[in-house]
Amino acid sequence: MSDGSTTLFWGDEEHRFRIAIGEFRELQEKINGRRAASGLPAIGPTTLANSIRANDAWPDDVRDVLRIGLIGGGKKPHEAHQLLVQYFDRRPPADSYLVAFAVLVGAFLGAPDDEIIKKKTMNPTSQSKSAGSTATVQ
């Protein structure tokens, strides 16, 4: 079963990223704290993921997804900081947007190689049917 983690190639090697409930709370505080200070409305994780996917998120938001995900995945805070300085701060932020999006999707849905996720997405009979439908999906 998925624990909100995913392993992705970023920078120079594969890293484990994990965003579970505690990490989501920290991410919420960071991102919406900045938004409140600017007089903007709060956003949720789906809106954040959509803005990252569209390359329309602020770099600090993307950086926080990566930082929190790295720490949640087992990196010590100073290790995560070193990776971010090297592979985020010194490169165009857009280089990391796809990774940040994948980290959030992994947190929402589980890693693509998770057995439960495979069964849900590969088995058409696991799809929900409307209440009035009697058709069988084959």
Encode pLDDT of 74-90 as tens digits.
999 999 999 999 999 99
Higher pLDDT, 64 or 137: 64
- What proportion of the chain, given as a percentage, has pLDDT over 90? 70
pLDDT band at residue 113 under the 50/70/90 scheme:
low
Question: What is the per-residue pLDDT for 109?
Answer: 82
Question: What is the per-residue pLDDT for 2?
Answer: 64
For range 15-20, the mean pLDDT: 96
Residues 6+ apart with CB under 8 A from 18: 3, 4, 5, 6, 69, 72, 73, 74, 107
Residues 6+ apart with CB under 8 A from 30: 64, 68
Do the beta carbons of residue 96 and residue 86 sit within 8 Å? no
Q: Any idea what DSSP says for residue 18?
A: E
Q: Is the pLDDT confidence value at 132 over 60?
A: no
Question: What is the per-residue pLDDT for 116?
Answer: 44
